[in-house]
DNA sequence: TATGAATGAGCCTTCATTCAT
DNA sequence: CATGAATGAAGGCTCATTCAT
């Protein structure tokens, strides 16, 4: 991956995340990345190819997180780690997550696997913890995580720590 | 409001909600509404004007909900009504809410007042219920509501009822 | 001619004169005249029909001037009357003349007869006055009149009187 | 400046001059220049940008003329050069001047500086020649020049030379 | 590898004109 | 006579994509 390729990816991620995929012109990406318009297509074939490259690139980080999760054997610890995730994601991942969530609202969903993965992990946890309705609990917690992600990405509340504290306490972990 | 005007609004709402505002062509709206493209602009002036008309139209329903809320004097009842809202919104409002949430991810946010309003209502409730950190509780619950809305709008889980049951029980209302 | 018809004519003349025929929308004419868009077409058939109606209406005034001219039997007096014309046209005719001159620059010239008429009148005068090259003198004076019309219509110089004085003296009339 | 850019400029000048700026479609310019419509906007940004480019390009020639004027120290010689100008402009400049004069009749005048410049030059000349009312003389001569330009551009009289002769003799230069 | 001129389809919008009322 | 909703062609402009260099 050359330096220009990387610059294209970075700038495209930022713009896609801020203005949306459809509303971002490739010409603008080229200009802000300081490369020619043609180069984007030489490297990524099409605008959609560029998007896919971004998503693959970002997915690695997600997988890293997922595998880190499985180091916790204690279900309480795993639950806590999951609860904390939205509150501590790396700032450099900010644009990536904005993009992911913004894409969720477009018809042709790009990959819903993330939610499914986490849902299954949660299901296992709640079963281990012998919650009465582990399925509903898991589904609800996926929703809560999406909601806190939204808060962190869109509103960036000052009292994020306190929110986490309340959440942690509710789940007793 | 003539019949054609209404048809434009309905079709536009549907398409904006499904594909996103930027990705929807006015020509497509016109075609699917069975009117000439020019008519859209005669009635709504611009694509953005059309969006605003949709939002105003939908906002009435939101206000209806809000004022219905204030009929509950008991904080527990109000809290419960708020918790239930995402699980029982009218099916005809589906597209409207999808549009609202999809727009939240675009930079020039169209109106964030809804979240603020609900946040304040929640703050009051948690204060009345003497929660230790009402502010964090309110902020967290706004997030939870956003998350459940996302679930209902994007995944439409079969066990929605159970999710609500779990939620209601967590808040003891 | 109803009152609304007259209002359409007046407003159209004003707008055509100020912004040009092509750049003026019939919808704007309708709005500023306080009539419906359809009415223009009921009365004048098309945008071009409206223009023709305006020109015919204005031409009457021109003919009035021309026939007034022929009351002067003395060539000097006639010449003087012609020289004075651009400096004393009725203010209500301002828009009409602007329109005439602005149309001269569009390919499909609407009527060049005015220049020809005046050219012939001048030719006769200069022949009667035994100028050495009456033809060139006539052609030049037509140009001078066009030039002074331009000055009066576009720049409206404060010293118009003085200009006329200089001109009258040059021709010794 | 590439060859296609130049072709766009040439064709646009011709069409703007013949049919007027507002009445000329960019699609027509593209077609007659043998380029895609998009190219016009890539090079000139907008239709108005194209017009400005044409005007700047043509202005150079005007400035050349102006500076050539100032080589004449004798006021009579300068006056004569000014009088001759409309009768001898380069045929390749025909469209440029038609455009300039046609634009004068549109409200938002593009640059009136030319008339002002020449007016000042004439004022100086008539003062040096001790004319009784130099201001009126200058203003009148500006008008006469505009009038002869109109004649040359719109009617192209066969006896142009004779007109100039008469004019030169009237000013005794 | 990299450029940027060039393309053409499609976008939002305007406008002259028609027609049911 | 008069309205104004409705049309559809065209207008200026943008954008993803291609290609000669």
**Radius of gyration for the alpha carbons in chain D, expressed in angstroms and rounded:** 18
| Average pLDDT of the residues in A20-27 | 96
With CA atoms as reference, report the closest residue to C163 among B15, A144, D122. D122
Token reading at B122: 């929640």
Cα A46 to Cα D9: distance, rounded to the nearest angstrom: 33
CB contact at 8 A, B27 and B50: no
| Average pLDDT of the residues in C36-63 | 93
CA distance D2 to chain C (A): 30
Is B159's CB within 8 Å of A165's CB? no
Cα C44 to Cα C33: distance, rounded to the nearest angstrom: 14
Cα D15 to Cα D12: distance, rounded to the nearest angstrom: 5
- Out of A53-57, B164-168, D140-144, pick the least confident: A53-57
Cα D55 to Cα C76: distance, rounded to the nearest angstrom: 43
On whether any CB of chain B is under 8 Å from the CB of A105, the answer is yes
pLDDT at B68: 84
Mutate to test the interface with D, among C47, C98, C147, C149 (most CBs of D within 10 A): C147
Token reading at D126: 């008539």
Token reading at B51: 């969006």
Chains adjacent to A (≥3 CB pairs closer than 8 angstroms) = B
Q: Who wins on pLDDT, B50 or A109? A: B50
Residue B91: burial class (beta carbons within 10 Å; 0-12, 13-18, 19+): exposed
Is D105's CB within 8 Å of C115's CB? no
Considering only alpha carbons, which residue of chain D is nearest residue C165? D136
Q: How many CB atoms lie within 10 A of CB A51?
A: 19
Cα C90 to Cα B132: distance, rounded to the nearest angstrom: 85
Q: Is the pLDDT of residue A64 over 90?
A: no
Considering only alpha carbons, which residue of chain A is nearest residue B140? A163
Mean pLDDT of chain C: 93
**Radius of gyration for the alpha carbons in chain B, expressed in angstroms and rounded:** 18
* Residues of chain D contacting C118 with CB distance shorter than 8 Å: none
Touch A-B: 3+ C-beta pairs under 8 A:
yes
| DSSP secondary structure string for all residues of A33-96 | HTS-HHHHHHHHSSHHHHHHHHHHHHHHHHHHHHHHHTT--SHHHHHHHHHHHHHH--GGGHHH
Domain ranges of chain C: 1-54, 72-173
Crossing angle for the helix pair B160-171 and A134-150, to the nearest 10 degrees: 80
CA D38 → C1' E8, Å?
8
DSSP B152: I
With CA atoms as reference, report the closest residue to A17 among A164, A163, A154. A154
Q: Which CATH number fits domain C1-54: 3.40.50.300, 2.60.260.20, 1.10.10.60, 3.30.70.100?
A: 1.10.10.60
Cα A137 to Cα B162: distance, rounded to the nearest angstrom: 8
Q: Which CATH class is domain A1-57?
A: mainly alpha
CA distance B2 to chain A (A): 30
CB contact at 8 A, D152 and D160: yes
With CA atoms as reference, report the closest residue to A32 among A57, A15, A53. A15
3-state secondary structure of D22: coil
Cα B153 to Cα B151: distance, rounded to the nearest angstrom: 6
In sequence order, what are the residues at sequence separation of 6 or more whose Cβ sits closer than 8 angstroms to the Cβ of residue B97? B89, B149, B153
CA D93 → C1' E17, Å?
39
CA distance D50 to chain C (A): 18
> How many residue pairs from chains C and D have C-beta atoms closer than 8 A?
110
Mutate to test the interface with A, among B144, B154, B161 (most CBs of A within 10 A): B144
Angle (CA) C40-C41-C47 rounded to 5° is 85
Task: Compute the CA torsion angle B151, B154, B155, B158 (nearest 10 deg).
Answer: 70
* Residues of chain C contacting D98 with CB distance shorter than 8 Å: 105
Q: Is the pLDDT of residue C143 over 90?
A: yes
Cα C146 to Cα C134: distance, rounded to the nearest angstrom: 18
Token reading at A75: 């279900």
Is B144's CB within 8 Å of A144's CB? yes
CA A38 → C1' F19, Å?
10
Considering only alpha carbons, which residue of chain C is nearest residue D98? C105
pLDDT at A110: 65
Mutate to test the interface with A, among B96, B113, B166, B167 (most CBs of A within 10 A): B166
Token reading at B154: 């994007």
3-state secondary structure of A115: helix
pLDDT at B64: 84
pLDDT at D107: 66
The residue assigned the tokens 């956003």 is B146
Q: Which CATH class is domain D1-53?
A: mainly alpha
pLDDT at B110: 67
Token reading at B167: 């939620």
When pLDDT is cut at 50, 70 and 90, the band that residue B137 belongs to is: very high
Number of continuous H segments (helices) and E segments (strands) in chain A: 9, 0
| Average pLDDT of the residues in A4-23 | 96
Residue ranges of chain D whose pLDDT lies below 50: none
| Average pLDDT of the residues in A50-66 | 88
| Average pLDDT of the residues in A75-91 | 93
Crossing angle for the helix pair A160-171 and A134-150, to the nearest 10 degrees: 180
Mean pLDDT of chain A: 93
* Residues of chain D contacting C150 with CB distance shorter than 8 Å: 104, 143, 146-147, 150
In sequence order, what are the residues at sequence separation of 6 or more whose Cβ sits closer than 8 angstroms to the Cβ of residue D115? C155, D142, D146
Angle (CA) B47-C24-D105 rounded to 5° is 130
Q: Is the CB of A24 under 7 A from strand F?
A: yes
Interface of B with A in 131-170 (CB under 8 A): 133, 135-137, 139-140, 142-148, 150-151, 154-155, 157, 159, 162-163, 165-167, 170
When pLDDT is cut at 50, 70 and 90, the band that residue C70 belongs to is: confident
- Residue C107 phi/psi, 5° resolution? -40, -70
Alpha carbon D44 to its chain's center: 22
Considering only alpha carbons, which residue of chain C is nearest residue D20? C106
In sequence order, what are the residues at sequence separation of 6 or more whose Cβ sits closer than 8 angstroms to the Cβ of residue A163? A87, A148, A151, A157, B136, B139, B140, B143
pLDDT digits (tens, 9 = 90+) for B98-135: 999 999 998 666 677 888 889 999 999 999 999 999 99
Token reading at C16: 């055509």
Token reading at B152: 């209902």
Crossing angle for the helix pair B47-69 and B75-88, to the nearest 10 degrees: 140
- Residue D106 phi/psi, 5° resolution? -90, 140
Alpha carbon B146 to its chain's center: 9
CA D7 → C1' E6, Å?
14
* Residues of chain B contacting A159 with CB distance shorter than 8 Å: 135-136, 139
CA distance C72 to chain D (A): 26
Interface of D with C in 24-53 (CB under 8 A): none
Task: Compute the CA torsion angle B27, B32, B34, B36 (nearest 10 deg).
Answer: -10
pLDDT at B109: 66
Cα B130 to Cα B75: distance, rounded to the nearest angstrom: 11
| DSSP secondary structure string for all residues of C54-90 | HHHHHHHHHHHHHHHHTT--SHHHHHHHHHHHHHH--
Chain D residues 116 to 135 whose Cβ lies within 7 Å of strand E are none
Residue C3: burial class (beta carbons within 10 Å; 0-12, 13-18, 19+): exposed
pLDDT digits (tens, 9 = 90+) for C74-115: 999 999 999 999 999 888 799 999 999 999 998 666 667 888
Token reading at C14: 């004003």
pLDDT at B107: 67
When pLDDT is cut at 50, 70 and 90, the band that residue C57 belongs to is: confident
Q: Is the CB of C66 under 7 A from strand F?
A: no
- Residue B166 phi/psi, 5° resolution? -60, -45
Q: Is the CB of B19 under 7 A from strand E?
A: no
When pLDDT is cut at 50, 70 and 90, the band that residue A60 belongs to is: confident
DSSP B173: -
Chain F: nucleotides under 7 Å from a protein CB?
A: 1-20
Ramachandran region, residue D45 (left: φ > 0; alpha: ψ -120 to 50; beta: rest): left
Mutate to test the interface with A, among B14, B132, B147 (most CBs of A within 10 A): B147
pLDDT at A108: 66
């Amino acid at each position: 991956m050359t330096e220009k390729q990387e610059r294209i990816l970075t700038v495209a991620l930022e713009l896609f995340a801020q203005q949306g995929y459809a509303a971002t012109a490739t010409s603008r990406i080229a200009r802000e990345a300081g490369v020619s318009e043609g180069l984007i297509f030489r490297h990524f074939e099409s605008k959609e190819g560029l998007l896919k490259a971004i998503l693959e690139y970002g997915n690695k980080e997600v997988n890293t997180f997922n595998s880190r999760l499985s180091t916790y054997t204690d279900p309480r610890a795993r639950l806590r780690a999951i609860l904390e995730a939205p509150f501590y994601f790396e700032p450099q991942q900010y644009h990536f997550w904005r993009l992911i969530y913004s894409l969720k609202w477009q018809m042709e969903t790009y990959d819903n696997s993330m939610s499914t993965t986490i849902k299954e992990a949660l299901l296992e946890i709640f079963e281990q913890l012998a919650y009465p309705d582990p399925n509903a609990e898991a589904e609800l917690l996926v929703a809560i995580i999406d909601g806190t992600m939204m808060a962190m990405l869109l509103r960036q509340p000052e009292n994020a720590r306190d929110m986490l504290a309340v959440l942690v306490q509710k789940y007793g972990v």
